[in-house]
Amino acid sequence: MKISIFGTGYVGLVTGVCLAEIGNDVVCFDIDKSKIKKLKKGEIPFFEPEIKELIERNLEQGKISFTLNSKDAVRNQEIIFIAVGTPQKKNGEADLSYVKSAAREIGKNFEKYVVVVNKSTVPIGTGNLVEKIIKKKYKGDFDIASNPEFLREGSAVFDFMNPERIIIGTKSERSKKIINNLYKSFSCPVINTKIETAEMIKYASNAYLATKISFINEIANVCEKVGANVDEVSYAMGLDSRIGNKFLNAGIGYGGSCFPKDVKALHNIASCKHYNFKLLESVIRVNNNQRMLFVKKTEKLLGNLKKKKICVWGLSFKPNTDDTRESAAIDVIKLFQKKGATINAYDPKADYEKLKREKVFRDKINYFDDKYDALKDCQALVIATEWNEFKAADLTEIKKLLEKPNIIDGRNIFDLDKINKNGFNYISIGR
């Protein structure tokens, strides 16, 4: 099929190249000149496993192309996906300005019937909004639909190719048939529903996962008070198939470009309809509090943080991605800095230049390309993201390089016995 994608971020680019890989002709449009320039050369503007080879192969075979010209991305297409960002506004509401401008751009270039599918995570009712915007520009026949995306950064290509479900929200038989046909080679359950329900499924899913994380963090905090071990508690809970073991790791809370904004957006959607979603209020509060508690623990071990030097391993919001948006690591570093600490930071993939350019940290921070170099002269090592290379780190080397053998582990990556045998002062979460 002939498909175009508006937005070449984590979702748009992965969707585009995976749909090309399964035999479609895909045009990707973005307003970011530097991104398109890179993509045309086969360079990937962010880190994501598996994607580079796919892009190179599909570029070579002419199955995917990149453009800054919206006309090229609309003309002759059968399906147009909107996969632009929907960040949060200050009041928690989803910012739809990118979705609206994509809709305007699409509407003004229409020539014939096409299905416009929203893949971005958007408030319930956005499908209708997109339809209205397009109708102002184009009087002909078209359909709108919703097809929320569930891929995870770090395993985005695998997730897209192996979905657990596909949600298709439509309001005409014609568009339903077209989108179902696009996904006919996938073997997972396909849920055909109305647009509003499809939009809600995405928010409800993310809000539920965030709730699970805040729940286990609260259990961890109680574990500390009563002498229980949260890792064993969550393992045993997870064996119950009604609960499951995913998203049950205690830590310094959820982050990333989705959970924080989506939980707030759903809370806001409910508020706008005069419903107070109290559970989500608690989920947000618990998540913020988890960062504060972690800093308090650090102070308990190190004393006043003024003039202390702390090494932080991990800046991305989770392993296997370079994405630092709303990362718990960033929040914790800012709190350390507020207390007067200097930070030596190391992350395997985070884009240090971008962090500097965007002035994410106002106070002093030193970036390192080697995790062991970052430890020198520090009074403690803080684990903020659970990268595998941290789990496999050499404890003897860490002890040798740190000024004092203190580890504050925000992700419970180290084995308690091993750590004790190595003579560290060690604090983790709920153990």
Residue closer to ligand NAD by CB (options 101, 221) is 101
Site for ligand NAD in 72-131 (CB under 6 A): 83-86, 98, 101-102, 105, 120-121
Size of the site for ligand NAD (CB under 6 A): 28
Site for ligand NAD in 23-82 (CB under 6 A): 29-32, 35
Q: What per-residue string of b and e applies to 217-248 under the rule 16 or more CB within 10 Å gives b?
A: bbbbbebbeeeebbbebbeebbeeeeeeeebb
Q: Quote the DSSP letter at residue 94.
A: B
Place of tokens 């419903």: 275
Amino acid at 321: T
Please pick, from the candidates 4, 10, 126, 199, the single residue that binds ligand NAD as defined by CB under 6 A: 10
Please pick, from the candidates 151, 168, 207, 332, the single residue that binds ligand NAD as defined by CB under 6 A: 151
**Closest-CA residue to 390 (of 338, 336, 318, 287):** 318
Taking residue 298's Cβ as centre, other Cβ atoms within 10 Å add up to 24
- CB closest to ligand NAD, residue no: 9
257 interacts with ligand NAD by CB under 6 A: yes
Site for ligand NAD in 295-314 (CB under 6 A): none
Q: Which two tokens stand for residue 320?
A: 């296997």
Residue 258 is a catalytic residue? yes
Please pick, from the candidates 8, 77, 249, 385, the single residue that binds ligand NAD as defined by CB under 6 A: 8
Q: What per-residue string of b and e applies to 165-187 under the rule 16 or more CB within 10 Å gives b?
A: ebbbbbbeeebbebbeebeeeee
Residue closer to ligand NAD by CB (options 153, 409) is 153
CB of 6 to ligand NAD, least distance (A): 4
Contact 411, 384 (CB under 8 A): yes
Chain centroid to Cα 170, Å, comes to 26
11 interacts with ligand NAD by CB under 6 A: yes
CB of 76 to ligand NAD, least distance (A): 18
For the CA atoms of 269, 273, 275, 277, what is the dihedral angle to 10 degrees? -10
CB of 217 to ligand NAD, least distance (A): 21
CB of 295 to ligand NAD, least distance (A): 27
CB of 214 to ligand NAD, least distance (A): 19
255 interacts with ligand NAD by CB under 6 A: no
Residue closer to ligand NAD by CB (options 149, 224) is 149
Contact 115, 79 (CB under 8 A): yes
Q: Which two tokens stand for residue 126?
A: 């956005």
Residue closer to ligand NAD by CB (options 31, 395) is 31
Residue closer to ligand NAD by CB (options 29, 414) is 29
CB of 300 to ligand NAD, least distance (A): 35
For the CA atoms of 165, 170, 174, 178, what is the dihedral angle to 10 degrees? -30
Q: What per-residue string of b and e applies to 316-338 under the rule 16 or more CB within 10 Å gives b?
A: bbbbbbbbbbbbbbbbbbbbbbe
Q: What are phi and psi of 205, to 5 degrees?
A: -65, -50
**Catalytic residue of the set 28, 223, 258, 311:** 258
- Where does this chain bind ligand NAD (CB under 6 A)? 6-12, 29-32, 35, 83-86, 98, 101-102, 105, 120-121, 149, 151-153, 257-258
- Residue numbers annotated as active site: 258
